[in-house]
Amino acid sequence: MTLEATFNLPFLFRRIPKTNLTITTGYNGAFCLLEEESNIEDLIRNNHERLPKEKISELEAKSLVSTQSEYALKASLHASSLATQIYRSLAKPSLFMIVPTLRCDHDCRYCQVSRAPINAEGKDLSAKNIDNALNLIESTSDEELKIEFQGGEPLLNFKFIKEFISKAKVKLKEKNVSYVICTTLTNLTNEIADFIKDENIQISASIDGDANTHKYNRPSKYYDSYDLLQDKRRLLSEKNLDSHTSYIATVTRPSLGNAQELAEFFFSLSIDSIFIRPLTPLGFASSTVRAIGYTADEYMDFYKQFLKEIIRINIQGTRFVDEMALIHLNRIFRPGSTQYVDMKSPAGLVLGGLIINYDGKVFGSDESRMLWEMTHSKELIIGDITLSSDLDFTNLTKTLKDSFLFALPGCSECAYQPYCGADPIHHLATQGDPIGNKSDSFFCNFQTLMYDMIFTMWHNSNDARKVFRTWLKL
- Hey, which residues between 304 and 333 contact other proteins (CB under 8 A)? 321, 323, 326-327, 330, 333
Cα–Cα distance between 446 and 459 in angstroms, integer? 20
Cα–Cα distance between 326 and 317 in angstroms, integer? 18
Residue-wise burial string across 390-401, b where 16 or more C-beta atoms lie within 10 A, e elsewhere: ebebeebeebbe
Residue 426 touches other proteins, criterion: CB under 8 A: no
Q: Which is nearer to other proteins, 284 or 404 (by Cβ)? A: 404
For the bound state, the minimum distance from the C-beta of residue 316 to other proteins, rounded and expressed in Å, comes to: 20
For the bound state, the minimum distance from the C-beta of residue 243 to other proteins, rounded and expressed in Å, comes to: 12
Contact 193/234 with Cβ under 8 angstroms?
Answer: no
Q: Which is nearer to other proteins, 221 or 465 (by Cβ)? A: 465
Q: Is 298 left (phi over 0), alpha (psi -120 to 50) or beta?
A: alpha
Q: Which is nearer to other proteins, 102 or 236 (by Cβ)? A: 236
Strand duo 273-277 + 321-322: pairing:
parallel
Cα–Cα distance between 361 and 18 in angstroms, integer? 47
Query: Mask 125-154, x = binds other proteins (CB under 8 A)?
Result: --------------xx-xxx-x--------
Residue 20 touches other proteins, criterion: CB under 8 A: no
Q: Which is nearer to other proteins, 75 or 374 (by Cβ)? A: 75
Helix axes 424-431, 442-460, angle to 10 degrees: 130
Contact 345/403 with Cβ under 8 angstroms?
Answer: yes
Residue 334 touches other proteins, criterion: CB under 8 A: yes
Q: Which is nearer to other proteins, 212 or 397 (by Cβ)? A: 397
Residue 172 touches other proteins, criterion: CB under 8 A: no
Residue 57 touches other proteins, criterion: CB under 8 A: yes
Contact 208/217 with Cβ under 8 angstroms?
Answer: yes
Q: Which is nearer to other proteins, 169 or 398 (by Cβ)? A: 398
Residue 55 touches other proteins, criterion: CB under 8 A: no
Residue 60 touches other proteins, criterion: CB under 8 A: yes
Listed in sequence order, the residues at least 6 apart from 146 whose beta carbon sits closer than 8 Å to its beta carbon are 94, 95, 96, 177, 178, 179, 180
Q: Which is nearer to other proteins, 270 or 437 (by Cβ)? A: 437
Size of the site for other proteins (CB under 8 A): 103
Peptide bond into 151 cis (omega under 30): no
Contact region for other proteins (CB under 8 A) — 164-172, 193-201, 259-267, 436-444?
436-444
Cα–Cα distance between 422 and 58 in angstroms, integer? 29
Q: Which is nearer to other proteins, 37 or 238 (by Cβ)? A: 37
Contact 430/281 with Cβ under 8 angstroms?
Answer: yes
Residue 61 touches other proteins, criterion: CB under 8 A: yes
Contact region for other proteins (CB under 8 A) — 156-164, 174-182, 189-197, 226-234?
174-182
Strand partners, 361: 384
Residue 346 touches other proteins, criterion: CB under 8 A: yes
For the bound state, the minimum distance from the C-beta of residue 223 to other proteins, rounded and expressed in Å, comes to: 27
Helix (H, G, I), strand (E, B) or coil at 177: strand
Q: Which is nearer to other proteins, 73 or 387 (by Cβ)? A: 73
Residue 124 touches other proteins, criterion: CB under 8 A: no
Residue 79 touches other proteins, criterion: CB under 8 A: yes
Q: Which is nearer to other proteins, 378 or 473 (by Cβ)? A: 473
Main-chain dihedrals φ then ψ at residue 33, nearest 5 degrees = -95, 125
Residue 1 touches other proteins, criterion: CB under 8 A: yes
For the bound state, the minimum distance from the C-beta of residue 180 to other proteins, rounded and expressed in Å, comes to: 6
Cα–Cα distance between 219 and 109 in angstroms, integer? 8
For the bound state, the minimum distance from the C-beta of residue 99 to other proteins, rounded and expressed in Å, comes to: 18
Alpha-carbon torsion angle 150, 156, 158, 161, nearest 10: -20
For the bound state, the minimum distance from the C-beta of residue 83 to other proteins, rounded and expressed in Å, comes to: 4
Contact region for other proteins (CB under 8 A) — 40-48, 103-111, 192-200, 284-292?
40-48
Listed in sequence order, the residues at least 6 apart from 394 whose beta carbon sits closer than 8 Å to its beta carbon are none
- Hey, which residues between 362 and 421 contact other proteins (CB under 8 A)? 391-394, 397, 400-402, 404, 406-410, 412-413
Contact 142/92 with Cβ under 8 angstroms?
Answer: yes
Residue 431 touches other proteins, criterion: CB under 8 A: no
- Hey, which residues between 182 and 221 contact other proteins (CB under 8 A)? 202, 204
